[in-house]
């Protein structure tokens, strides 16, 4: 299948569209730093949401990708995912005081962000995804996330739109590594030239996909309404522009 123009003729060969998750399809219900700080107060650490947010952004920016190479059994992956986040949270709170029980704090925080009730789906996602599916396109999620994403997508009623979910921890590679994109492509026998990737990160989504020859739609929330096209890259403020981008971008 490919994207057909209104006359029914195959105007370009687009077969699959992959979406980033956090920041693209969904957002946390409150800012991450605010959640970290609010729950931390229960365990004896007083820090402002703004200070924790700044620390989180700094630590997250320098953290290695949430990926550990291919071939790990599921049980080990779950432990490695949890340890990755534990180290990130511990580093985020360096200098903010001592927890009465850091393990209890981390367990509550980890469970908090695994609960779909603490996330909000982009309200425009269902209509955009339904339109793409109606065209017979393969739809997938490609995210630098861990196994909690499966439950979150189902809880937000987004999972039903996707043929696959590829997370960095299971793929063994994190975006922008080519290995992450190649893992998603391989699941459907897709080539870069017939694939579109949608995300919100210049580094992880745009640069990663472009390096492999995948067309990209970068979601820029504060951009003007409409669609800005340049070569095989588009920029849009909302997900409503994705079907138009899929029709407008060249797929040689």
Answer whether residue 5 is part of any domain: no
Which of residues 117, 152, 185 is at a domain's end?
Answer: 117
Answer whether residue 8 is part of any domain: no
Answer whether residue 2 is part of any domain: no
Answer whether residue 10 is part of any domain: no
Structural domains counted in the chain: 2
pLDDT confidence of residue 8: 37
CA dihedral of 219, 115, 146, 134, whole degrees rounded to 10 = -50
- Could you tell me which of 213, 26, 14 has the C-alpha nearest to residue 120? 26
pLDDT confidence of residue 12: 59
Asked if 134 and 201 sit in the same domain, the reply is: yes
Which of residues 81, 101, 117 is at a domain's end?
Answer: 117
Q: CB–CB of 152/26 below 8 Å? A: yes
What CA–CA distance (Å, rounded) separates 35 from 44?
15
Answer whether residue 85 is part of any domain: yes
Answer whether residue 154 is part of any domain: yes
Q: Which are the contacts of 64, defined by CB distance < 8 A and separation ≥ 6?
A: none
pLDDT confidence of residue 25: 98
Asked if 77 and 126 sit in the same domain, the reply is: no
Asked if 153 and 186 sit in the same domain, the reply is: yes
Estimate to the nearest angstrom the gap between the alpha carbon of 145 and the chain centroid.
7
Q: How many residues does the chain have?
A: 252
Helix (H, G, I), strand (E, B) or coil at 86: helix
Give 10-residue mean pLDDT values along the chain (252 residues).
42 87 97 98 97 97 95 96 98 97 98 98 98 97 98 98 98 97 98 97 96 97 84 95 94 84
Asked if 241 and 158 sit in the same domain, the reply is: yes
Asked if 113 and 130 sit in the same domain, the reply is: no
CATH code for the domain in which residue 151 is found: 3.40.50.1000
Q: By residue range, what is the domain housing residue 212? A: 16-25+122-248
Q: Which are the contacts of 190, defined by CB distance < 8 A and separation ≥ 6?
A: 15, 16, 138
Answer whether residue 4 is part of any domain: no
Answer whether residue 222 is part of any domain: yes
What CA–CA distance (Å, rounded) separates 47 from 49?
7
């Amino acid at each position: 299948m490919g994207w057909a123009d209104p006359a029914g003729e195959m105007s370009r060969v687009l077969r699959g569209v992959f979406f980033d998750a956090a920041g693209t399809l969904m957002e946390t219900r409150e800012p991450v730093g605010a959640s970290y700080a609010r729950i931390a107060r229960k365990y004896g650490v007083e820090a402002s949401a703004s200070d924790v947010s700044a620390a989180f952004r700094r630590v997250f920016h320098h953290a290695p990708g949430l990926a550990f190479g291919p071939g790990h059994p599921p049980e080990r992956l779950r432990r490695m995912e949890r340890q990755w986040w534990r180290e990130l949270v511990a580093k985020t709170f360096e200098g903010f005081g001592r927890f009465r029980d850091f393990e209890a704090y981390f367990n509550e925080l980890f469970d908090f962000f695994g609960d779909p009730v603490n996330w909000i789906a982009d309200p425009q996602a269902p209509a955009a995804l339904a339109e793409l599916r109606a065209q017979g396109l393969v739809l997938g999620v490609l995210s630098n996330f861990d196994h909690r994403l499966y439950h979150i997508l189902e809880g937000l009623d987004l999972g039903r739109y996707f043929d696959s979910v590829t997370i960095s921890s299971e793929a063994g590679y994190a975006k922008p590594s080519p290995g992450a994109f190649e893992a998603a492509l391989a699941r459907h026998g897709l080539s870069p030239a017939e694939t579109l990737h949608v995300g919100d990160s210049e580094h992880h989504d745009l640069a990663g996909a472009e390096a492999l020859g995948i067309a990209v739609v970068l979601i820029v929330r504060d951009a003007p309404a409409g669609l800005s096209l340049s070569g095989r890259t588009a920029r849009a403020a909302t997900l409503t522009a994705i079907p138009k981008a899929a029709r407008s971008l060249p797929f040689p």
